[in-house]
Amino acid sequence: MNARKGREPLAAAETDRIVYDLTGIEHQYDTLLRELPGIDIRFALKSCPVDDVLHCLAARGAGFDAAGPAEIAQALHAGAPAGLVHYGNTIKSDQDIAAAHRLGVRTFATDSVEDVTAIAAHAPRARVFCRLATSGDGALWGLNRKFGCAPEDAVRVLATARAAGLTPAGLSVHVGSQQMTTEGWQQALDTLAETLTALAGRGIVLDHVNLGGGLPALGYQDRHGNPLDPPLDKIFTVLREGMDHLRGLSPAPLAFVMEPGRHLVADHGAVRAHVARLTRRRQPDGTDVHWLYLSCGKFNGLYEMDQLTHRMVFPGHLDAAEHVRAVVAGPSCDSDDAYGEGRHTVRVPASVTSGDPVWILSAGAYATSYMTQGFNGIRPLPCVCVRGQEGQH
Ligand X SMILES: Cc1ncc(COP(=O)(O)O)c(C=O)c1O
State the residues that interact with ligand X by CB under 6 A.
Answer: 44, 47, 65, 88, 174, 177, 212-215, 259-263
CA-CA distance, 14 to 247, in Å (whole number)? 53
The dihedral of CA 207, 158, 119, 91: what is its sign? negative
Closest contact distance (angstroms) between CB of 261 and ligand X is: 3
Q: How far is the CB of 131 from ligand X (least distance, A)?
A: 8
Nearer CB in complex with ligand X: 71/259:
259
Q: Which of residues 133 and 358 has its CB atom nearest to ligand X in the complex? A: 133
Nearer to ligand X, 88 or 168 (CB): 88
Q: Nearer Cβ to ligand X, position 263 or 310?
A: 263
Catalytic residue among 48, 56, 296, 333: 333
Please report the sign of the dihedral spanned by the C-alpha atoms of residue 181, residue 182, residue 185, residue 191.
negative
Q: Is 333 known to be catalytic?
A: yes
- Facing residues of 44 across strands? 65
Between the alpha carbon of residue 294 and those of residues 6, 275, 326, 344, 354, the distances in Å are: 22, 5, 12, 16, 9
Question: Least Å distance between CB 88 and ligand X?
Answer: 4
Torsion 213-217-218-223 (CA) sign: negative
Q: How far is the CB of 47 from ligand X (least distance, A)?
A: 5
Judge whether 200 and 151 are in contact, CB under 8 Å. no
Which of residues 44 and 130 has its CB atom nearest to ligand X in the complex? 44
From CA 331, how far away is CA 78, in angstroms rounded? 34
Nearest to 311 by CA among 201, 195, 226, 185: 226
Residues taking part in catalysis: 333
